[in-house]
Amino acid sequence: MHQGFPVPPGFVVTVDAYAEFVDIDSLPSNDEIGADADSFCASIRYKITSTAISRAIEDQLRSHHEALQKARDEEIVYAVRSSATAENLG
């Protein structure tokens, strides 16, 4: 329970993991958008979707996922909440 609401077990991917992933791929900053925002966004989307997650992050994700699986006797339903990384900086 958190503030009176039932909260199921879960895990998060931290801002640090995100930063590690972004650093690996050297994504350009928003300052580089220029006149063609659609092309800029498409290039970033391609870089993100074509880059492998580091082994360390993958191992952590697998470990947390397996722990959730073992704790339940039934099929797990997942919910993913995406937030802007700036929301989590403090």
Q: Binning pLDDT at 50, 70 and 90, where does residue 85 land? A: low
* Structural domain includes residue 67: yes
* Structural domain includes residue 20: yes
* Structural domain includes residue 26: yes
Please give the tally of structural domains in the chain: 1
Q: Which of 11-20, 24-33, 51-60 has the lowest mean pLDDT?
A: 24-33
* Structural domain includes residue 7: no
What pTM value is reported for the model?
0.64
CA pair distance 51, 69, nearest whole angstrom: 27
Domain hosting 45: range is 15-83
Give the per-residue pLDDT at 45: 87
* Structural domain includes residue 64: yes
* Structural domain includes residue 54: yes
CA pair distance 86, 18, nearest whole angstrom: 11
Q: Residue 63: helix, strand or coil by DSSP?
A: helix
